[in-house]
Structure 1
């Protein structure tokens, strides 16, 4: 067996990959100071498993990584590969050539490989034991090593001779075995303590098991009852739904019949309105005819009055003429008397003539003249009388004509006035009828606009009703969902609170002490550790595993309070419990450095736990030397780095115990006391949030229902307005036709 080659990369002064080949004829490596001769020796020692940075001439292990220069940056890892010829099988490895590789990162993680297969540091040490090549072997003697060996005690020098004699392997195995025995004894002691504690918990656990079984049985029975209740409720709801559907169908049928009856009534109303319009038209025609007949009758009455006046005038004229005739007869009688007197005068004159014969001749001419004058006068009188009679008749006729003409003029004037009045009345009636028709049409237009507006309003209200009904149904569904969730959360919260109140899952001694403290018989009992701490859900399982049985340890004020509780347990036979006096317990902090740089580091357990300041010392004492990491690989790497000096717990509950032992397996994440407390806290918050949400939903649902009722009322009012508007349209349409018929009749009459 001999060294064939050494490959370096990133190790101290070798930033680039450097391959140094050794043959069986290489005796020494020479070079100036600072060229890296000692770094090659350190690299060989480092590959063989050296863990002391001081032996490698550095302050810390990170110093073996190339740190960079002014012209070249630092690298992230150091790697060295040692290749040995093993054809003689000097190494207990079935290969002609053995390649041992060590790689170290700045994060603190390290890796070992044998022939490019991952290995442990222990595997490297065992491989080189009794060969003189180990980190403590005599084949690698550094500067000052001879003086150090000579100055060592005999016991220390013994290791070198044992390595040379080939028995160091057995010594190391013996030491490992002794350490394992010590750890086993410690584990046996802890197991004994746990067995004793578990024996104390066996009876309470048995009772709890029976109670849990009974609880599961009752829970199964409850599930069956709930299923039965739900089925019964479902059947009742189905029946109610079916009845509601039947009622809805019946109501729909009745509503349809009502709509049909309403439509029929509307049609009858339209027919009656049409008939009424026709009757109104006929009535208006008859009224116009009656008015025309009345006018004709009045005209005839006027004509009759005129004729009656003519008759009365004629009668008065006749009477007056008769009186005038009588007067004329009287005047005629006077003329006759005058004629008689004239005759008598003539006779008297003749007598005088005869008597006075003597004057006859003288007076003959005068007598002839007088006789001629008398005859002319008589004729003239007769002519005058005839003219008088004719003139009287003409005057009477003229006066009658004048009176007739005056009467005719008066009647014509009166008729003209009547015609003007009738004409003015007809025009005014026509204008009035036209004005009423225009007014009716304007009202009809407004009524139709009201119908359109009412339909638009109903459409808007219907759309709003659909939206609000959808929102109300959504809120009702959400309310039902929230109520179901709240009932389930409330039921779980009630169960968890009952378990917390009755200290379920705690051993009998803890239950008895806490119940006695609640009654006031024991003082300064602060409660189990699990009741005094809280942590994030992600770390709950890890903290529970880290605490273990300490979860049920009871925190008290001082030793006297713990003594009183122990006396109570002894007196009542309640079992055993561990008490933590706050006056005595001191915190223990982890002094290791570089934990934050380790892969998967989450935190120190005591720092991940929330508690009151008064209990911080208890928490530091229980969890101050426990580290929480993400996974098992991170825990193993950290345990190797710090030589198993403290407890490491993963988030899923796997444990690396001090000394190197490992505890792990499957864990029920929801079965822990701390998990239950966290779950109760979350359920309480969820219950409060759901109650607040239910109150908000109740207010929103009430508002939604009010808005639905409001829009239904608005739709009902709008439909009433629509019916009124439609009725008004029908009425106004009838009035419009009546006014049109009346206006046509008036225009025809004109």
Structure 2
């Protein structure tokens, strides 16, 4: 039994060792399984994390899909808009092409107009140059006219001063006229030279024919003449001769016919100009003065004609030439160079009026020229 027990013990030891080996093997297996479980758990955790990540990615993808779908809808709408805009752009392009064609046509017209404008500008420059030249001439003319105007005004002032001061009038008539002007004499007092209107070409002849009668004083009444004479006596102002309209009777001229001359035509004979009273104008109501002084004065061209007529005409007439020669039929013949004192009495008022008219004319021309400038 001991042997059996020893054998059994040996068997048990063997079994124990086998069990121990199995236990070690099992423990190694358990350890291996623990490691595998740990790996599986780690893998499971990884898979769980991956699953969560996958779920998140799926959610993101779903969100992206929704975004893509929305973007697709937006893009489709935008595409439709682009198609519509493309159609509109094509239509606009066609319109633009038509407009471009119109603009090309307008551009050509504009070029043509530009060429026309350049041509007009050249013409305008030429016109401007001519205008500038004309303006320069006008300025020169204005300057010349101003100089002339200044001289005319100076001459007019001198004549008006002479007229106002009665320069050239003898003492007696001058004192009467000044007294009337100052109110010392009442009434109208005028020189014969101031009531006659003598054309310039006859001034010399008429002044010689009248002589001192140019300074006779014309009054309306004899009372005015008497008052003036009393004034001259009282002031010792000289002597004067008066023609009063209420006292004056014109001289009657007998009908005289010249060779080849009828009563209706007093200027048909060669060299005979006419009767002086028919050649001279007169202020209103003074016809009697003119006829009294000049109805028996014949005006002719020259001394030869005057002397020839002087042999034919009766006495009581006077024949005067344009140069101032005087022939009295049956009497004296006078001539030569005449001092112009008496002549200036006739010419002064006429020259004053002529100067005033010429000054107005020149001032008007200056104003028109300045407006043109």
* Structure-1 residue corresponding to 2:244: 581
Distance in 2 (alpha carbons) for counterparts of 1:515 and 1:453: 75
Q: How does 1:635-714 map to 2 (within 5 A)?
A: 635-668=306-339, 671-701=343-373
Q: 1:590: Cα distance to partner?
A: 1.7
Q: 1:613: Cα distance to partner?
A: 4.2
The answer on 1:511 being equivalent to 2:174 is yes
Kept in 2: contact 1:526–1:555 (CA 8 A): yes
Distance in 1 (alpha carbons) for counterparts of 2:162 and 2:321: 28
The answer on 1:607 being equivalent to 2:278 is yes
The answer on 1:456 being equivalent to 2:128 is no
Kept in 1: contact 2:325–2:335 (CA 8 A): yes
Q: How does 1:154-553 map to 2 (within 5 A)?
A: 442=104, 446=108, 452=115, 455-553=118-216
Distance in 2 (alpha carbons) for counterparts of 1:448 and 1:559: 92
Q: 1:513: Cα distance to partner?
A: 1.0
Q: 1:667: Cα distance to partner?
A: 2.5
Change in 2 beyond 3 A, CA 1:451/1:600: closer
Q: Secondary structure at the match of 1:490?
A: helix
Q: 1:661: Cα distance to partner?
A: 0.9
* Structure-2 residue corresponding to 1:294: none
Q: 1:602: Cα distance to partner?
A: 1.0
* Structure-2 residue corresponding to 1:572: 235
The answer on 1:619 being equivalent to 2:290 is yes
Worse-matched range after superposition: 669-678 or 585-594: 669-678
Change in 2 beyond 3 A, CA 1:641/1:455: same
Change in 2 beyond 3 A, CA 1:699/1:448: closer
Q: Deviations over 1:113-144 (max 9, x none)?
A: xxxxxxxxxxxxxxxxxxxxxxxxxxxxxxxx
Q: 1:592: Cα distance to partner?
A: 3.7
Distance in 2 (alpha carbons) for counterparts of 1:572 and 1:669: 29
* Structure-2 residue corresponding to 1:558: 221
Q: 1:507: Cα distance to partner?
A: 1.1
Q: Which runs of 5+ in 1 are unaligned?
A: 1-427, 702-750
The answer on 1:629 being equivalent to 2:314 is no
Change in 2 beyond 3 A, CA 1:681/1:445: closer
Distance in 2 (alpha carbons) for counterparts of 1:495 and 1:636: 40
Kept in 1: contact 2:310–2:330 (CA 8 A): no
Q: How does 1:67-78 map to 2 (within 5 A)?
A: none
Q: 1:556: Cα distance to partner?
A: 1.3
Change in 2 beyond 3 A, CA 1:624/1:444: closer
Q: 1:470: Cα distance to partner?
A: 2.5
Q: Deviations over 1:159-182 (max 9, x none)?
A: xxxxxxxxxxxxxxxxxxxxxxxx
Q: 1:584: Cα distance to partner?
A: 0.8
Distance in 2 (alpha carbons) for counterparts of 1:601 and 1:581: 32
TM-score between both structures, scaled by the size of structure 2:
0.65
Distance in 2 (alpha carbons) for counterparts of 1:678 and 1:692: 21
Q: 1:479: Cα distance to partner?
A: 2.0
Distance in 2 (alpha carbons) for counterparts of 1:453 and 1:687: 47
* Aligned-residue CA RMSD (Å): 3.1
* Structure-1 residue corresponding to 2:84: none
Tell me which of the two structures has the higher relative contact order, counting C-alpha pairs closer than 8 angstroms and 6 or more residues apart.
Answer: 2
Q: Deviations over 1:456-483 (max 9, x none)?
A: 3432331232232223223222222222
Distance in 1 (alpha carbons) for counterparts of 2:106 and 2:228: 99
Q: 1:656: Cα distance to partner?
A: 0.5
Kept in 1: contact 2:221–2:244 (CA 8 A): yes
Distance in 1 (alpha carbons) for counterparts of 2:115 and 2:371: 37
Q: Which runs of 5+ in 2 are unaligned?
A: 1-89, 259-265
Distance in 2 (alpha carbons) for counterparts of 1:579 and 1:450: 84
Residue-pair matches, total? 272
Kept in 2: contact 1:598–1:634 (CA 8 A): no
Q: Deviations over 1:652-708 (max 9, x none)?
A: 10000243210100135685310222222221221222222223223333xxxxxxx
